[in-house]
Amino acid sequence: MGRFVIRRLLQSGVVLLGVTLVVFLLLQLVPGDPVRVALGTRFDPQTYEALRARAGLDRPLVVQYLSYLGNALTGDLGVSFRSGRPVTSIVLERLPATLSLAATAVAFAVLVAFPLGVLSAMRSGSLLDHAARVFSQFGVSVPDFWMGIMGILLFAGVLGWLPPSGYVPITEDPARWASHVVLPAVTVGLVTASILTRFIRSSVLEVLSEDYVRTAEAKGLRARVVIMRHVLRNALIPVVTVVAVQLASLLGGVIVIEVLFAWPGVGRLTYDAVQARDYPVLQGAVLLVAALFLLTNLLVDVLYARLDPRISVR
């Protein structure tokens, strides 16, 4: 296991290297001068040249990339063109908001999808099964921003139960954090739950048709024992992959939802960086998202071996 983890970490380092190169090259193709945009109405030729020199934009592209890469290895992702603050600090400040939103949304999705998907498979063809399939199709088809707007209109505008937007750190006031996170988390969680419900139903149905399940039932084992020991444990393997992919996507920031609910996460940071041509912040946000994806995939591979002893990691 230790060798596997070390090897995967080395492979992840190579992938991150490729990400930095691709992002750097793509940003060179984006029209517009980031320093000129950052100065705005305060444009002055001398200030402009000084800022370009400070950011290293007056050097050849190869030198710029190697310099960025060398600094990134030490944790220095550069300085924001817009605010002048270190990019590392900016990104890490936004990360807790994204983590709290992603964790809450995935928890809500699992709590909804797991029992719904299992019961739908156990009662295939019933009214509950049809309702679960309609819910799954609805969640996949309806845009999340539309559900977010409807949630704001109903729970914030009409009923007045929840705030329409904003963010309060959980460490500052857990109650206010919970009231602010409900709408965006449920909006994102409904989409995730609809996807998970479909996968859980399909996975459980596939396992229910296996010979060892019929053998367990023929031995007279109680239905609860058959489901818990034989069905769910084997059906969870593909579901874990879907949950991990959804979590990694949310950790990257749900840009539309974060902008809609004024949630100060990584997704909104990326959106603002694109709008302001703040390339260092954009590079830092993309690098963070890629690292979170790789870390999540590594954890899933390790979890596979725990769920199924037949799977070995070497």
CB 72 within 8 A of CB 86: no
**Which of 31-35, 117-121, 203-207 is most confident?**
117-121
Considering the domain architecture, whether residues 132 and 267 belong to the same structural domain is answered as: yes
- The pLDDT score that the predictor gives to residue 236 is 77
pTM of the model: 0.79
Identify whether residues 36 and 71 lie together within a single domain: yes
pLDDT band at 234 (very low <50, low <70, confident <90, very high): confident
| Per-residue burial over 175-190, b = 16 or more CB atoms within 10 Å of its CB, e = otherwise | eebeebbbbbbbbbbb
Considering 87, 116, 151, which residue would you say is the last residue of a domain?
Answer: 87
pLDDT of residue 78: 79
77 and 100 fall within a common domain: no
pLDDT in the model for residue 31: 67
At residue 306 the predicted structure's pLDDT band, cuts being 50, 70 and 90, is: low
In this structure, the answer to whether residues 43 and 163 fall within a common structural domain is no
Q: What is the pLDDT of residue 65?
A: 82
Residue-averaged pLDDT of the chain:
79
Range of the domain at 8: 1-87
CA max distance for the chain? 85
200: CATH: 1.10.3720.10
Domain boundary (26, 54, 87) is at 87
Angle between helices 144-151 and 174-208 (to 10 degrees): 140
User: Are 242 and 151 part of one and the same domain?
Assistant: yes
Contact status, residue 55 vs residue 278, Cβ threshold 8 Å: no
Instruction: Specify the length of the chain in residues.
Output: 314
Q: Give mean pLDDT, residues 103-111.
A: 89
Kindly state whether residues 128 and 247 are assigned to the same domain: yes
Distance separating alpha carbons of residues 295 and 122, to the nearest angstrom: 34
Residue 313, in any domain of the structure: no
pLDDT 10s digits, 35-51: 666 666 666 676 667 77
Q: How far is CA 302 from CA 104, 293, 306, in A?
A: 23, 15, 7
> pLDDT per residue over 249-269, tens digit each?
777 667 888 888 888 888 888
Instruction: Tell whether the model's pLDDT for residue 9 goes beyond 80.
Output: no
Instruction: Judge if 66 and 120 occupy the same domain.
Output: no
Identify whether residues 9 and 70 lie together within a single domain. Answer: yes
Counted domains in the chain: 2
